[in-house]
Structure 1
């Protein structure tokens, strides 16, 4: 269960509603192992639920398939799939929403959805540090802010 607490100034759109709760389930599986590498498939299903009517509610299904090149556990090219289904709109006058980036609470967003697809690459520097880059394009329902997105991250485990 994830808690999303709106914090920050109104000018940065970080003050929508009181709280969202996001129960989720995730699964992963490796398959197709050979001397050339192996595949991994990962999936998450969650439901972002507002505790009041200000924020939008949505279901999200995300899946990723990657390939561990030569089983080195270093380079992982991947393809991502994301499906967001808005189950209820919020109270703002916006006719769009920010998908998983910003919850604007658009009134007319209920019943709409967006599907994104994109490639990416992850590099594992060590067991503690890894970095990645991913691209996503909206392929269905691009009435949101996410016609295109590039994400870059570094994870440091301690």
Structure 2
């Protein structure tokens, strides 16, 4: 159990607060943060943190409508979250720099460049430290400020509305997290719309080491009417101009491990792979992150 679970609010469990900077909710310190679908799978806790991220993303040799591809792309990014009150937090979930090492026809479309920037708010709706239960809801808006060379800034931005929750199991030795959201572009003629559902299960091996597995499901609900017949949309990092992805389903799974020596630091590594015949642009993915939490 977390050390502050006796109190109703953990705002007084740390040092004195800065004017607009609240410490993380340490009543749920036995939880760890999810890694799959990292732009959209939001931690339900109210936290103040900096999270550097590295992603190596391998691309299938053929994507969509038999388009030659292959190779890889890398992302160097950093998320941050700031607790504004005990329940309300500012979240920045997408940014960074994309490095293109793709092959085939995709190499003619994708090049190095900056990612778009996503930011929004998250509010804690249910918080029960005694039962280990927490639920939050929120939204982000992706500003189209990235590099068009990196297939960013494709439209007028997009919204993501989500609800996310977690439950402590086995007296804090296991946890489940689940999040569902809807991705809605401001200009639906340029970008596609999709539902995403992400799930996490972890088990504590020692006081500092966790193993976990996660599943992410994407279902595209609307095409970009002014797009081309790529047959792929891009999932979390991209939202490509494709007019033939409606009805597609992509399910991926990862396996990973986290090391959490204290409530202020954790690092993780995860390997992700598709479970469906439709892979979109994901052949596999390796992700590494580190979280510095206040």
Normalised by the length of structure 2, the TM-score is 0.50
Unaligned runs of 5+ in 2: 1-138
What is the aligned-residue RMSD (CA, Å)? Answer: 1.5
Task: From 252, 265, 268, give the equivalent of 1:116.
Answer: 252
Partner of 1:13: 151
Query: After superposition, where does 1:90-105 map in structure 2 within 5 Å?
Result: 90=224, 91-93=226-228, 94-105=230-241
Unaligned runs of 5+ in 1: none
Q: Which stretch of the first structure deviates more once superposed, 141-150 or 79-88?
A: 141-150
Partner of 1:41: 176
Considering only CA atoms, is the larger Rg found in Structure 1 or Structure 2?
Answer: 2
Partner of 2:212: 78
Q: In the alignment, is residue 136 of structure 1 matched against residue 287 of structure 2?
A: no
Residue 141 of structure 1: how far off its partner (Å):
3.9
Runs of 4+ in 1 over 4 A off after TM superposition: none
Kindly tell me: are residues 105 and 156 of structure 1, through their superposed partners in 2, closer, same or farther at Cα, counting changes over 3 Å? Answer: farther
3-state DSSP of counterpart to 2:275: strand
Residue 124 of structure 1: how far off its partner (Å):
1.2
3-state DSSP of counterpart to 1:125: strand
Q: Which stretch of the first structure deviates more once superposed, 142-151 or 54-63?
A: 142-151
Residue 102 of structure 1: how far off its partner (Å):
1.0
Residue 92 of structure 1: how far off its partner (Å):
2.6
Q: Distance in 2 between matches of 1:57 and 1:47?
A: 8
Residue 142 of structure 1: how far off its partner (Å):
2.7
Normalised by the length of structure 1, the TM-score is 0.90
Kindly tell me: are residues 101 and 141 of structure 1, through their superposed partners in 2, closer, same or farther at Cα, counting changes over 3 Å? Answer: farther
Q: What is the number of residues matched between the two proteins? A: 153
Kindly tell me: are residues 40 and 98 of structure 1, through their superposed partners in 2, closer, same or farther at Cα, counting changes over 3 Å? Answer: same
Q: Distance in 2 between matches of 1:48 and 1:152?
A: 25
Residue 11 of structure 1: how far off its partner (Å):
1.1
Residue 75 of structure 1: how far off its partner (Å):
1.0
